[in-house]
Every structure is written in C-alpha cells, then in structure tokens.
C-alpha cells in the first residue's frame, strides 16, 4: 500500500481495512480511492444547489417524473401529487399521507430503509462492517482528541444502524419516547454511506458530519439518535433548531469548525416515539445508541443481517 491509501488520521483504505479483494489479474481500482482527491463537501453543496433549482411547472413535472422513475420511488404514500413539488429536493423530503406509518412498540425504527444491524456493543465498539469497527464516544462527541468530560457519562450497551436509500422516505423520527436534552452538530467529511463505502472506508460514521440527539428516558435511561450525513447534498436539518442546516455555504467558507451545541429551548423537548426529529436532503444513515438501562427498558431485538424496515416498525422483542 502506498501513500495514496492513507487518510489524514493515519488509517488506511485497503484490503486490511475491509476493501473487497479483487482477483490478482484484474487489479481493479476501487472508485472510492478517487474521492480522496475530491472536495466532497463542496461537491455535495453544489449538488444541493442544483436539486433546489425550480424550473417552470411543466418542465419540473417531467423532471420529477424522471427522478421518481430513476430511483423507483413509491409515490402512493406521498402527501402531495407529483406535480406539486417545486424542485427535486422538495420531492425528496416529501411528507407522507396521515397514518401511513404505525408506531408498533416502545422501540421502533427511526426511518424507512434497511436495518443493517441491531445488537449489543462489543469490546471493540460498534460494528460498521465485517472487519471494521468504530467507537461510539467518537460518534457522539467527536473524533479522536476532541472528546470532552461528557464521555465519562457515556456507557453504551446497544446500537441500531438504519440505512436510507435514495428511494426511501427521508424524514427521521424518534425511535422511543423521552426528553431531548441536547442537540449537537459535529462537522466532518461527506463520504458515501452505501455498502461499498461502509465495507471499505475505516471509521466512516465518525468521519462524516452528524447531528446528535441526546435523550433522557424513563427509569433513568439514556439514549442517542445520530443522523450521519453523506456525499451528494449532505444537508441535514431539524425543526428543533429553525434555520440551521448542515453543509451550508457559511460552513464551507469557515473551513474546519468545532462542534456546536444546538440546545433545545426551555431546557429540553419531550417527544413521543414517532415524532419527527430531522430531515435528510439525500440518502444516509441513522445510528441509535442505548445505555444498559435503556436496553432493559426498551428490550431491543437482535438483528444480525440486513432487512427492510419502515419508520415505526417495532425493533423490540415481542
């Protein structure tokens, strides 16, 4: 492996880090290598500018139809008809018709998509993919060397990872009932979060930008919901902090920036399972983390292989 395989933190992108092996005679180049040289946040910002362009109504209708067909989006559950969306982003962050999703347990999926895994924490941390792990304290508080004394309060016991594909409904909801006590923005890169990237890029979820929702639950339990940004648009927003959006123009101008606490008003916000928390402007991933008390309280079900899931679907033991 040469110097082009190395990341800024010294980790590498290669077979030893989970990169799929190619036949010796083929010597195929993993396309992810090219992203090392590309300004991913800027590219994502420019993509975001494009998908927010509002074309004349007739033209926009055809563009919307092409977008729906390209990604295989099911519009039967959408709250509005196809011609009512003013731009691609408007279509992408569409609302659903009332009662399209049922909250079916105390611990439910935060989003539509594919639950990659839901399992107890291991000694090595959380599993990203076979052979690749990451630390939950980095996911929630920032990368190596950026943690604060708050990490001493973090005792993770369980995590659930849900991947949202481009065709999915892209609003994120509370996977349990509780009180939101902190909301944190953690700046970072914007690598893809598809299967190729997850199995190839070390510590992917702690490299990318994140919104972290921290909760207090009944019986003294604590839990976190992490929205992980991704390549192409990379924008995330939350109604809890009106006007705030990730991967903005001001963020690009600022360059590297520090974590930012987006404190909820009045010392916290009470939410019920299924209440909306935030929006992805294009596909990405959520990671829900439970401490030991929350595991006892919510009784999550172990899932070790990917399976389709819808927002509100129970992830508890029945």
Across residues 31-43, what is the average pLDDT?
84
The Cα 163–Cα 247 span in angstroms is 20
pLDDT for position 104: 95
Can you tell me whether residue 317 is helix, strand or coil? coil
Contacts of 300 (CB under 8 A, 6+ apart): 107, 118, 158, 160, 290, 315, 316, 317
SS3 state at 89: helix
pLDDT tens sequence across 52-91: 999 999 999 999 999 999 999 999 999 999 999 999 999 9
Clarify whether 9 is annotated catalytic. no
Q: Hey, what long-range contacts does 242-247 have (CB within 8 A, 24 or more apart)?
A: 244/185, 246/185, 246/187, 246/209, 246/211, 247/41, 247/44, 247/45, 247/48, 247/190, 247/209
Q: Per-residue pLDDT tens for 135-147?
A: 999 999 986 545 5
- The pLDDT value given to residue 21: 37
Q: Average pLDDT for residues 28-48, to the nearest whole number?
A: 83
Residue 192, CA distances (Å) to 165, 168, 188, 209, 311 in order: 11, 16, 13, 11, 22
Query: Greater confidence, 265 or 165?
Result: 165
**pLDDT tens per residue, range 244-281:** 999 887 777 776 678 888 876 677 899 999 999 999 98
Arithmetic mean of pLDDT over the chain: 86
Instruction: Give pLDDT, residue 72.
Output: 95
- The string of pLDDT tens digits covering residues 194-250 is 888 998 899 999 999 999 999 999 989 999 999 999 998 789 999 999 989 998 877
Judge residue 152's burial from the number of C-beta atoms within 10 Å of its C-beta, 0-12 exposed, 13-18 middle, 19 or more buried.
exposed
Tell whether the model's pLDDT for residue 2 goes beyond 50: no
Helix (H, G, I), strand (E, B) or coil at 41: helix
pLDDT over 70 for what percent of the chain? 86
Q: Is the pLDDT of residue 51 over 70?
A: yes
pLDDT band at 101 (very low <50, low <70, confident <90, very high): very high
Position 129 pLDDT exceeds 90: no
- Is the pLDDT score of 16 beyond 50? no
Checking if the pLDDT of 130 tops 90, the result is: no
Query: How deeply is 55 buried, as exposed, middle or buried, from its count of CB atoms within 10 A (0-12, 13-18, 19+)?
Result: middle
The pLDDT score that the predictor gives to residue 181 is 94
User: What was the pLDDT predicted at 255?
Assistant: 66
Which residue in 44, 118, 284, 314 is the catalytic one? Answer: 284
> In the predicted model, what is the mean pLDDT of residues 163-183?
96
Instruction: Identify the pLDDT of residue 247.
Output: 87
Please confirm, yes or no, whether 314 is among the known catalytic residues. Answer: no
Predicted confidence at residue 147, as pLDDT, reads 52
Contact 162, 111 (CB under 8 A): yes
Q: Which residue has the higher pLDDT, 109 or 28?
A: 109
Highest mean pLDDT range out of 19-33, 127-141, 163-177? 163-177
Q: What is the DSSP letter of 87?
A: S
Taking 90 as the threshold, does the pLDDT of residue 149 lie above it? no
Q: What is the mean pLDDT of residues 11-16?
A: 44
pLDDT for 24:
41
pLDDT of residue 27: 52
Share of the chain above pLDDT 90, in %: 67
From the candidates 173, 177, 291, 314, give the one annotated as an active-site residue: 173
Residue 284 a catalytic site member: yes
Unique residue bearing structure tokens 């033209």: 59
SS3 298: helix
Band (pLDDT 50/70/90 cuts) for residue 123 is confident
Catalytic residue among 44, 109, 112, 118: 112
Q: Which of 27-41, 136-150, 281-295 has the lowest mean pLDDT?
A: 136-150
**Integer Cα distance of 273 and 263 in angstroms:** 20
How many Å from the N-terminal Cα to the C-terminal Cα in the chain? 48
């Amino acid at each position: 492996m040469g110097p082009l395989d190395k990341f800024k933190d010294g980790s590498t992108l290669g077979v030893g880090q989970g990169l799929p092996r190619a036949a010796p005679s083929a010597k195929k180049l993993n396309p992810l290598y090219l992203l090392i040289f590309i300004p991913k946040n800027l590219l994502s910002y420019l993509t975001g500018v494009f998908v927010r362009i509002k074309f004349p109504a007739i033209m926009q209708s055809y563009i919307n139809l092409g977008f729906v067909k390209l990604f295989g989006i099911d519009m039967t559950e959408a709250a509005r008809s196809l011609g009512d969306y003013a731009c691609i982003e408007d279509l992408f962050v569409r609302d659903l018709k009332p009662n399209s999703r049922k909250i079916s347990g105390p611990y439910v999926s935060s989003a539509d998509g594919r639950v990659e895994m839901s399992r107890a924490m291991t000694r090595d941390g959380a599993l990203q993919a076979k052979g690749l792990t990451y630390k939950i304290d980095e996911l929630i508080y920032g990368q190596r060397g950026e943690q604060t004394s708050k990490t001493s309060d973090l005792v993770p016991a369980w995590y659930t990872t849900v991947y949202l594909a481009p065709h999915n409904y892209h609003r994120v909801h509370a996977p349990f009932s509780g009180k939101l006590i902190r909301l944190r923005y953690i700046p970072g890169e914007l690598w893809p979060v598809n299967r190729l990237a997850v199995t190839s890029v070390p510590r992917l979820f702690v490299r990318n930008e994140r919104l972290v929702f921290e909760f207090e639950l009944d019986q003294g339990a604590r839990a976190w919901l992490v929205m992980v940004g991704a390549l192409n648009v990379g924008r995330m927003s939350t109604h809890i902090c009106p006007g705030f959006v990730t991967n903005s123009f001001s963020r690009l101008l600022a360059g590297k920036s520090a974590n930012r606490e987006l404190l909820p008003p009045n010392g916290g916000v009470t939410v019920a399972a299924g209440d909306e928390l935030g929006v992805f402007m294009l596909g990405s991933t959520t990671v829900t983390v439970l401490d030991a008390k929350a595991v006892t309280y919510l009784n999550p079900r172990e899932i070790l292989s990917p399976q389709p899931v819808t927002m509100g679907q129970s992830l508890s033991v029945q």
